[in-house]
Amino acid sequence: MHEMSLLNDLEQRSGGQCELCASIDNLKIYKVPPVTNHGIDGSLLACAVCIAQIESRSLGTDTTDVNHWRCLNDSMWSEHDSVKVVAWRMLSRLKSEGWPKDLLDMMYLEDETLQWAKSTGEGLTESEKLIHRDVNGVILENGDSVVLIKDLKVKGSSLVAKQGTAIRRISLDRENSDFIEGKVGPTQIVIITKYVKKI
């Protein structure tokens, strides 16, 4: 029921068209990651074409229909932050094409909105991106599982997390590639990446 009313609200807000490219076909709710707001402010109405391209993470310009995204020329001026964030991310992703970079330079996002836009790492070059690696140099991602390769004392408690303990669904520290977070029992702890091995 809740999703239905969200869809209705979005249809009303958008006038029944994709909030990115104005298509009226195959419209769906797109929740803008990381999803902290499940309401209308965290979502937009988008067509299947836009969503498919947004979600193919590793796309280079070879698999993206760059010209499709010329639609951002209009939609980047949306008054809705969720739309602005996605516009900013796609323009960042395509900025090597030239014109997206020009549009990006014209965009203005409030600090908080810009933080949201940047939080998925979109638009950063490989060297600017924080890359978390385990003890063997294997890249760690949010949601991965790891095991501890040594006993770790948990700061501020008497808990010792034993070597061999599996930690599921880790999250990466957004500011520092030396740290991840995960749960040992009920306790959320910060762990140094070089003391874990990806499983």
Nearest approach in angstroms of CB 181 to Zn ion is: 35
172 binds Zn ion (CB under 5 A): no
| Spatial contact of 197 and 135, defined as CB atoms under 8 Å apart | yes
| Spatial contact of 198 and 170, defined as CB atoms under 8 Å apart | no
10 binds Zn ion (CB under 5 A): no
CA distance linking residue 176 with residue 172, whole number of Å: 8
CA distance linking residue 166 with residue 198, whole number of Å: 9
Q: Which is nearer to Zn ion, 18 or 161 (CB)?
A: 18
152 binds Zn ion (CB under 5 A): no
CA distance linking residue 121 with residue 125, whole number of Å: 9
27 binds Zn ion (CB under 5 A): no
Nearest approach in angstroms of CB 95 to Zn ion is: 20
What residues from 51 to 110 belong to the interface with Zn ion (CB under 5 A)?
Answer: none
Candidate list 47, 72, 87, 94; residue touching Zn ion; CB under 5 A: 47
Q: Which is nearer to Zn ion, 27 or 152 (CB)?
A: 27
The helix/strand/coil state of 142 is coil
Start-to-end C-alpha separation, the chain: 38
Interacting residue ranges for Zn ion, rule: CB under 5 A: 18, 20-21, 23, 47, 50
